[in-house]
Amino acid sequence: MGLYETLISRTSVRNFSSAPISKEIITKIINAGHHAATARNIQPWLFVVVTDAVRRKAIKDMCPNNGPYIEFAPVCVCVFCENVTYYLEDGSAATQNILNAAHSFGLGAVWVAGDKKDYADKIREYLKVPNNYKLVSLIPIGYPSEKVKPTEKKPLEEKLFWEEYSK
């Protein structure tokens, strides 16, 4: 699959098989996050990869409504950024790269909210990340347990304007 096809066929996956993912693939996926654009090239992120089932359940118990799938996906990538001016943009760019890279390896993933959530600091503390870092996202990743219907998108014509906006 070429890059463009990867980008336009990615969709959120929330049901996973328990099949493990090799460390090599996980590392490549994280490396894609690490190559995201970042304001002034600060690269304020750090990525905590959680594979241990007890830890994944503990994280899921802190955000049961947003991320129930974290318990069942074999991997949860936790994206943190140092609290710099553009931490949220930088961490979001890394998160999207990770979602796309996972998809390119035939894996499924979903962006679970981190920033602005009341559980963000609890999860940060649980993972022993220093308090000058913010949790941007949690990304459960695994092989999809079923075929996922792509999420419907609004027509591009409603969103695309040439030269200037018009109603």
Ligand X SMILES: Cc1cc2nc3c(=O)[nH]c(=O)nc-3n(C[C@H](O)[C@H](O)[C@H](O)COP(=O)(O)O)c2cc1C
Among 4, 151, 154, 155, binds ligand X (CB under 6 A): 151
Residues 51-90 that bind ligand X (CB under 6 A): 66
Among 6, 11, 15, 51, binds ligand X (CB under 6 A): 11
- Structure tokens of 151? 């999420």
Shortest gap between Cβ of 81 and ligand X (angstroms)? 14
CA 2 distance to own-chain centroid = 21
Whose Cβ is closer to ligand X: residue 41's or residue 151's?
151
Residue 57: C-alpha distances to residues 10, 37, 62, 104 (Å): 26, 32, 9, 27
Whose Cβ is closer to ligand X: residue 82's or residue 115's?
115
- Type of residue at 128: K
Sole window of 9-17, 31-39, 44-52, 155-163 interacting with ligand X (rule: CB under 6 A): 9-17
Shortest gap between Cβ of 150 and ligand X (angstroms)? 7
d(CA 108, CA 84): 30
Q: Which residues contact 14 (CB under 8 A, 6 or more apart)?
A: 69, 108, 110
- Per-residue contact track with ligand X, 93 to 122, x per CB under 6 A? -----------------xxxx---------
Shortest gap between Cβ of 84 and ligand X (angstroms)? 19
Per rule CB under 6 A, is residue 17 in the interface with ligand X?
no
CA 130 distance to own-chain centroid = 20
d(CA 143, CA 113): 21
Whose Cβ is closer to ligand X: residue 22's or residue 110's?
110
Other C-beta atoms lying within 10 Å of the C-beta of residue 144: 17
Binding site for ligand X (CB under 6 A): 11-12, 14, 66, 110-113, 151
